[in-house]
Structure 1
């Protein structure tokens, strides 16, 4: 460092599987509170409590994740969303009420209320803006949950997480109208872990869907969303995060790519998973870190 100055740090994160944090943050690990999840490991409450998680997008899946992560023992949150709740969010936003709509409350304020009502000692940093405007807040996270609608938004978030060595868990769903058939409900949960295949490697992001989205830019439209698939996908994402921290499943580290079929209520490994899961990532080399 310049002039040989040594500066103290308040936390050290070891990225991998398991992800570990050595932190000066206060601990909250009431043994009775977590007595039903001791199978995760004797030190699981401390491991979970020590991490800071970011949630980008607090509408459908993000609101589920905020609630479930708090119940599970995560106690340090950064919440990104610039929008206020509206009436159309009440069919899926966990914790949202008619009073919130009438008062125009921000979605991050509702998530903050849900989290702190479950754990009064939780630390929350609500950010009423896009994460791109507060990159330092994103950098402070140990795990990020991406609950975004667009492909390009996902591309930007993954690129930032890769550069900062932050595991990213993407959650998303969509409903497509089908001619002469029932609408098709589908979704995904993807763990993007530094050093392992990224969204481009697995074909989730490609030039075709990015270009198609760019061509539609500015078009008015509403993405169909309902509460139950968001709950399924969010629960899966929280489970992935818990295993990433505790390694209770003793699973193989690396890519996770789950595909959800809402018409048949099936959640399985995506067909591409077995072909790319063992590869490295040429798009985000581990020597290309930090701010671009």
Structure 2
């Protein structure tokens, strides 16, 4: 039995498809590190992992793959992610970027899907706007802890923001008031309250959405998803906010905001793949790529 035999229900040639894609993970903390680990176990071939931070002792309660030695040596979180992937995937296409994601847009623009685990509402707004411009599905993860007086409440959400579908503004996740307050200040269990098991739940939901987008084990790819997590009751449910905007056109990201604003026709074309490289990444043809089916489902003409 080979490594991936027990996941062959995901579809014909699923191993080759997963090997061929590149996933961007922005933010490699509690949620992002879980995502990297799970994608590596599944056999994703390409990673662009971006985080400017180093491992600190306070990260070790939730940062998958990090060790006490990493905290002592101030290892970049991007390097921890790379070590974890290379321990699971043979010859991955891995790009570790210990910088702000805004300084890594050229690499992120080449990704098939981007998973965001950033801390602030402003960064979430900017990352989603970038993904919309580049026509890349964006999966946003967020977790919070609230003081209810007699107990703490753990909550979170995972949202799939697809080109043409409702965005974080449409869904009420992003508001002017929240941008003013900034997400770093919310929660009452200390600065940026985080614990490992809610991070793992939210990351698993995000990875499940990646698999639904990429592989034919679902008849049609999901277009828009808003999952709410109640950590006290251990329940996940579709948000009523998604139902409230069903059928509406997103008015926050227009067609005029699509495409690379810095595109220059004089820019040299990327190097062509050799026949060997093309053979290694070749995937059996399907009835239309997943993103074409997704846009068709959303009513976007291409």
- Cα distance in 1 between the residues matched to 2:156 and 2:174: 14
- Aligned counterpart, 2:87: 117
- Cα distance in 2 between the residues matched to 1:58 and 1:183: 25
Q: Hey, which bits of structure 1, 4+ residues long, moved more than 3 A? A: 214-217
Q: Measure how far apart 1:154 and its partner are.
A: 0.0
Distance 1:214 1:265, change over 3 A: closer
- Cα distance in 2 between the residues matched to 1:267 and 1:71: 24
- Cα distance in 2 between the residues matched to 1:248 and 1:278: 26
Segments of 5+ residues of structure 2 without an aligned counterpart are 262-302
Distance 1:214 1:111, change over 3 A: closer
Q: Measure how far apart 1:133 and its partner are.
A: 1.2
Aligned pairs, number: 258
Contact 1:80 1:127 in 2 (8 A): yes
- Aligned counterpart, 2:3: 33
- Aligned counterpart, 2:232: 263
Normalising by structure 1, we get a TM-score of 0.84
How far does the alpha carbon of each residue in 1:235-260 deviate from its partner, in whole angstroms, 9 at most, with x for none?
11001000100131224631100000
- 1:53 correspondence with 2:23: yes
Segments of 5+ residues of structure 1 without an aligned counterpart are 1-30
Q: Measure how far apart 1:291 and its partner are.
A: 3.3
Contact 1:190 1:256 in 2 (8 A): yes
- 1:44 correspondence with 2:9: no
- Aligned counterpart, 1:144: 114
- Aligned counterpart, 2:203: 234
- Aligned counterpart, 2:283: none
Q: Measure how far apart 1:279 and its partner are.
A: 2.6
Q: Measure how far apart 1:210 and its partner are.
A: 1.2
- Cα distance in 1 between the residues matched to 2:33 and 2:218: 26
Distance 1:85 1:278, change over 3 A: same
Q: CA RMSD in A?
A: 1.8
Normalising by structure 2, we get a TM-score of 0.82
Contact 2:23 2:113 in 1 (8 A): yes
SS at match of 1:118: coil
- Cα distance in 1 between the residues matched to 2:216 and 2:237: 20
- 1:62 correspondence with 2:57: no
